[in-house]
Amino acid sequence: MPRRRMRGGAPLQWAFRSMPEPTPMRLSQFHLATVKEVPADAEIASHQLMLRTGMIRKLAAGIYTWSPLGLRVLRKVEAIVREEMDRAGAIELLMPCVQPKELWEETGRWEKFGPQLLKIVDRKEQGYCYAPTAEEVITDYARNELKSYKQLPVNFYQIQTKFRDEIRPRFGVMRAREFLMKDAYSFHLDAASLAATYQVMYDAYTRIFTRLGLTFRAVQADTGAIGGNASHEFQVLADSGEDAIAFSDASDYAANVEKAEALAPTGPRPAPGAAWQKVATPTQKTIEEVSAFLGVAPAQCVKTLLVEGRHGIVALCLRGDHVLNEVKAAKLEEIGTDIVLASEEAILAATGAHAGFIGPAGLPADIPVIVDRDAAQLADFVCGANADGLHYTGTNWERDARLTRIADLRNVVEGDAAPDGKGTLHLARGIEVGHVFQLGTKYAEALEAKVVDESGALKTMTMGCYGIGVSRIVAAAIEQCHDQAGIRWPEAMAPWRVAICVINPKHVAEVDAAAGALLDELASRGIETVLDDRGLRPGQMFADIELIGIPHRVVISERGLAAGTLEYRARTESESRQLAKDELLAMLAG
């Protein structure tokens, strides 16, 4: 295939294009397999549309084949990711999908990664796993390859299949078990160098999602077990998103709700005003039931959760209308692991009552009572009495109920003050499509990845890691860009930019010839075009082209040829227009 830049007189811009001229495609020669019915087990629009367009086919739970149509879109995303990573100075390599157990034991993650890790045994009884990520392998590579500070900083990336045995694979490729990820890992002598590359990656991600035509936000993210260092998630905004994000209306503060701080209420706690009383709540256990029964707002009740801590049960108290933030709670020194609710038996043994009647007043002295900032501000509140069928009213901290410590334990809600002190928080839903993370020395220390520094001393390298869910992006884009008729691809992700539909029931040779000539002309101008020459009825053909989301549609018919114009319709418009060929070319070039 000759490249456009080889030809004399080609516009200068093509000289910089690395992509070959697109192959003119005829649908009669392609495998398009759309279906009309909405698949029964697909809950969200993107999953339904990926199945209806035939972009993906399920092989097993969370494992999909990408059809020729789906692959065209996936490759578009991959190409943009690759271009921007290269532009940002990252260097591509390719690591294996099958990784040896010993390496994972060196970092302690063979056990810690948990059941998400797909473990494999070979014929010699050697243990392996299918890569869920590649910190171990890249750090092993770096400890062998990098010897001197002069080789730093360096940022390696790959675009490679990953496997995570997700507990609940769902929504098709959105949360799959096998998926395509771009993962990059940078190596540095110090934290300042890491921070600089982190910013370069942050900017590259911003360019990638902008070029893809997606509405997204970069949000502060929790750094999880690794702790301490900076991390941002790139979230595509969509109502079906699994993540909740909070952002300020008066500043650029944005964070995953997992991470967003709920500020302490200002001013002192009101003084006690009511007498402390035990009241019968025979069957009322939930906050809703108790508050309705006693005629008290949920915000005037305290709910108490008993969870397993490092040294026995810990009580967590929240206002009745607030929700526990498990990520924040797991970081408490009394807990220090995932949140696990105490068992029914343990609750009964510790308090003498069943869940639903537990409260902070009168708990055994060895149970720490950790109270959320807002719950700690309450006076005269309702809470469980640690006796079945009973609650207290008019409860007050210190006077009636012991309070070990105040902490930020809840999820922020719409209308909370932004933690940066500027404006009010609003909530939105997002799909995490990228994640940048300052790892620090955790992996380099575990695998002893060191280089010689300027003074000749050995120094452990500092690392960053940067992931993009390449296959998830395809689903996320559909979630954001669709209507009743199907997908509305952003231009950069469309399988083809233009579809030429031929209406030629009488098989007039000139009509087919004109369609073929337009196809070749558009392709020669670098415009990816598909010709629908399947001979379908117009209604069927248009429905397919709309379903698969082609941004520009041109109809060629005997009548149009006679008039000397082309019938054009944009996927985002509801009416067709008649265009002269030059007008069409000018529009597609722009």
List all residues 6 or more positions away from 492 whose beta carbon is below 8 Å from its beta carbon: 76, 80, 211, 212, 213
3-class secondary structure per residue, 319-352:
ECCCCECHHHHHCCCCCCCCCCECCHHHHHHHHC
Which letter, b or e, does each residue of 284-305 get, where b requires 16 or more Cβ atoms within 10 Å of its Cβ?
bbebeebbeebebebebbbbbb
Please select the residue that binds ligand ATP; options are 64, 163, 179, 205, rule is CB under 6 A. Answer: 179
Q: How far apart are CA 293 and CA 261, in angstroms?
A: 32
109 binds ligand ATP (CB under 6 A): no
Considering the complex, state which of residue 176 and residue 371 has its C-beta at the smaller distance from ligand ATP: 176
CB of 435 to ligand ATP, least distance (A): 4
The CB-of-182 to ligand ATP minimum distance in angstroms stands at: 8
The tally of CA atoms less than 13 A away on the side-chain side of residue 442 is 18
* Phi-psi group of 291: left, alpha or beta (phi > 0 → left; psi -120 to 50 → alpha; rest → beta): alpha
From CA 336, how far away is CA 33, in angstroms rounded?
51
From residue 491 to residue 510, the character string flagging contacts with ligand ATP as x (rule: CB under 6 A) and all else as - is --------------------
User: What residues have CB less than 8 Å from 518, skipping those under 6 apart?
Assistant: 500, 529, 554, 556, 566, 581
Q: In terms of CB distance, is 17 or 75 closer to ligand ATP?
A: 75
Nearest to ligand ATP of 179, 496 (CB atom):
179
Q: Which does 377 bind (CB under 5 to 8 A by kind): Mg ion, ligand ATP, none?
A: none
Least gap, CB of 435 to Mg ion (angstroms)? 4
Minimal distance, residue 44 CB to ligand ATP, in Å: 14
What whole-number distance in Å separates Cα of residue 565 and Cα of residue 462? 62
Q: Compute the least distance from the CB of residue 354 to ligand ATP, in Å.
A: 34
Alpha-carbon span 244 to 61, nearest angstrom: 26
Whether 28 and 22 have beta carbons less than 8 Å apart is answered as no
Choose among 112, 114, 24: nearest CA to 524. Answer: 24
Nearer CB in complex with ligand ATP: 131/494: 131
Residue 143 binding Mg ion, by CB under 5 A:
no
Instruction: State the angle between helix axes of 191-211 and 68-87 in degrees (0 to 180), rounded to the nearest 10.
Output: 140
Binders of ligand ATP in range 382-441 (CB under 6 A): 432-435
Q: Is 562 helix (H, G, I), strand (E, B) or coil?
A: helix
Nearer to ligand ATP, 291 or 438 (CB): 438
Out of Mg ion, ligand ATP, none, what residue 440 binds, judged by CB under 5 to 8 A for its kind, is none
Q: How far apart are CA 551 and CA 576, in angstroms?
A: 13
> Residues 451, 189: contact at Cβ < 8 Å?
yes
Residue 143 vs residues 258, 259, 323, 327, 445: alpha-carbon distances, Å: 34, 33, 44, 33, 11
Work out whether 175 is an interface residue with ligand ATP (CB under 6 A).
yes
Name the residue nearer to Mg ion (CB basis): 243 or 583.
243
- List the interface residues with Mg ion, window 426-485 (CB under 5 A): 435
As a whole number of angstroms, the distance between CA 543 and CA 52 comes to 12
| Residue nearest to ligand ATP as judged by C-beta position | 469
181 scored as a contact of ligand ATP (CB under 6 A): yes
**Closest approach of Cβ 48 to ligand ATP, in Å?**
17
Minimum CB–partner distance for residue 442 and ligand ATP (Å): 14
394/469 with CB nearer ligand ATP = 469
Contact 357, 386 (CB under 8 A): yes
Site map for ligand ATP, 120-159, x if CB under 6 A?
-------------x--------------------------
472 touches which of ligand ATP, Mg ion, none (CB within 5 to 8 A by kind)? ligand ATP
The residue (of 356 and 469) whose beta carbon lies closer to Mg ion is: 469
Asked if residue 166 binds ligand ATP (CB under 6 A), the reply is yes
Residue of minimal Cβ distance to Mg ion: 435
176 binds ligand ATP (CB under 6 A): yes
Interface with ligand ATP: number of residues (CB under 6 A): 15
Binding mask 434-473 for ligand ATP (x = CB under 6 A): xx-------------------------------x-x-xx-
Output 146 or 174, the one with its CB closest to ligand ATP: 174
User: Phi-psi region for residue 266, left (φ > 0), alpha (ψ -120 to 50) or beta?
Assistant: beta
Enumerate binding residues for ligand ATP (CB under 6 A).
133, 164, 166, 175-176, 179, 181, 432-435, 467, 469, 471-472
